[in-house]
């Protein structure tokens, strides 16, 4: 279990000094790394052995070990930084930066994504008669990907990336249907109109988009995917990765809701695909 999370846990049974120590560490973990037992003891007005007992009480070998664990944990949770790519960079350099920036955007999305919104979205999709997915531009491929994943659940799924088709599909929606609008900026006019129309016809609209955007405003439920704009010329487009992970989360939570009924579907699908593949 994670050290800092453990210390933050206010429910844990802890003595008065242990509490003081935990609070101090949580308040400024970095600072603790450069302290000795004596320094930390003085900081929270306890004796040195108390600091040591605090560490051993946590299941560690002692104060130095505690600092080591803390350093490791801080390093681990330290958010990655998106790195701008410059024209002089070597290929391996570029690769490293792209991977790092991708990780950074994962961090951002993870921080912004709300559990309960995901849960609600899964509930809506679980109850829906059919699921429709719209996306344009970079989000078009995300919509198709989502369709591919949702096909495994048995519920009818339509993904379309043609605004004329989208209009036609929207016109046929009813209260039992669910429309998922995918847009990074949330400012695509065609998509916002689709959301508006769908809602007018009673369908539930889920937006995978920037919170507060026009598309978000016309959605019943928003899954916030907010990373910074892709301003730099050479920045990889992290937006669709973010959206895809959200799709992953959504479909997995949905799969768990569906439970066993869905495992059978999977088997059928695997058999249907078998003949399209080389044996080995």
Q: Does 36 bind DNA (CB under 7 A)?
A: yes
In the list 26, 33, 48, 241, the residue contacting DNA (rule: CB under 7 A) is 48
Query: Which token pair is 57?
Result: 């009480």
Binder among 1, 10, 11, 45 for DNA (CB under 7 A): 45
Stretch that binds DNA, among 25-33, 38-46, 129-137, 223-231 (CB under 7 A): 38-46
Alpha-carbon separation of residue 174 from 110, 179, 202 (angstroms): 33, 10, 5
Q: Does position 39 bind a copy of itself by CB under 8 A?
A: no
> Closest approach of Cβ 271 to DNA, in Å?
60
Cα three-residue angle 167-142-114, rounded to 5 degrees: 100
Shortest approach of DNA to residue 9 CB, angstroms? Answer: 16
Least Å from the CB of residue 89 to a copy of itself: 7
Phi, psi of 269, deg, nearest 5: -65, -45
177 close to 132: Cβ distance less than 8 angstroms: yes
For residue 199, give every residue at least 6 positions away whose Cβ sits within 8 Å of its Cβ, in sequence order, or none.
Answer: 205, 218, 220
Nearest distance from residue 64's CB to a copy of itself, in Å?
7
Question: Which residues inside 44-63 make contact with a copy of itself, applying CB under 8 A?
Answer: none
How does DSSP classify residue 12?
S
Task: Name the minimum Å distance from CB 19 to a copy of itself.
Answer: 25
The closest alpha carbon to 209, from 173, 180, 231, belongs to 180
Identity of the residue, 188 or 204, whose beta carbon is nearer to a copy of itself in the bound complex: 188
**By CB under 8 A, residue 73 contacts a copy of itself:** yes
Please, are residues 85 and 232 in contact by the beta-carbon 8 Å criterion?
A: yes
Residue 45: count of CB within 10 angstroms of its CB? 9
Chain residues 87-146 in contact with a copy of itself, contact rule CB under 8 A: 87, 89, 91-92, 94-96, 98-99, 102-103, 106, 109-110, 113, 115-116, 118-119, 122, 136-138, 140-142, 144-145
Cross-strand bridge partners of residue 178 = 131, 204
Question: What pairing do the DSSP bridges indicate for beta strands 157-160 and 131-135?
Answer: parallel
Edge-first strand listing for the sheet containing 157-160? 157-160, 131-135, 178-182, 204-209, 221-224
- Size of residue set near a copy of itself by CB under 8 A: 73
Options 47-55, 176-184, 194-202, 241-249: segment touching DNA (CB under 7 A): 47-55
Examine residue 64 and tell whether it contacts DNA (CB under 7 A): yes
Chain residues 246-265 in contact with a copy of itself, contact rule CB under 8 A: 248-249, 251-253, 255-256, 259, 263
Which residues of the shown chain bind DNA in the complex (CB under 7 A)? 15-18, 36-38, 45-53, 55-56, 61-65, 67
């Amino acid at each position: 279990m994670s050290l800092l999370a453990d210390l933050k846990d206010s429910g844990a049974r802890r003595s008065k000094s242990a509490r003081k120590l935990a609070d101090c560490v949580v308040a400024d973990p970095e600072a603790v790394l450069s302290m000795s037992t004596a320094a930390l003891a003085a900081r929270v007005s306890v004796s040195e052995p108390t600091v040591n007992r605090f560490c051993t009480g946590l299941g560690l070998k002692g104060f130095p070990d505690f600092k080591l664990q803390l350093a490791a944990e801080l390093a681990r949770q330290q958010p990655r930084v998106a790195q701008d790519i410059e024209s002089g960079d070597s290929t391996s350099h570029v690769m490293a930066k792209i991977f790092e920036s991708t990780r950074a955007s994962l961090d951002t999305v993870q921080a912004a994504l709300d559990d309960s919104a995901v849960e609600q979205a899964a509930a809506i999709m679980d109850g829906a008669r059919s699921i429709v997915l719209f996306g344009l531009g970079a989000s078009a491929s995300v919509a198709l990907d989502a369709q591919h994943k949702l096909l495994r659940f048995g519920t009818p799924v339509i993904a379309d990336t043609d605004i004329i088709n989208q209009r036609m599909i929207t016109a046929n929606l009813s209260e039992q249907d669910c429309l998922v609008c995918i847009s990074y900026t949330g400012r695509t006019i065609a998509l916002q109109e689709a959301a508006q129309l769908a809602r007018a016809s009673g369908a539930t609209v889920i937006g995978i988009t920037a919170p507060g955007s026009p598309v978000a405003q016309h959605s019943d439920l928003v899954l916030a995917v907010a990373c910074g704009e892709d301003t730099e010329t050479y920045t990889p487009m992290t937006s669709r990765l973010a959206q895809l992970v959200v799709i992953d989360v959504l479909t997995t939570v949905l799969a768990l809701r569906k439970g066993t009924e869905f495992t059978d579907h999977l088997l059928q699908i695997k058999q249907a695909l078998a003949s399209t593949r080389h044996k080995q």
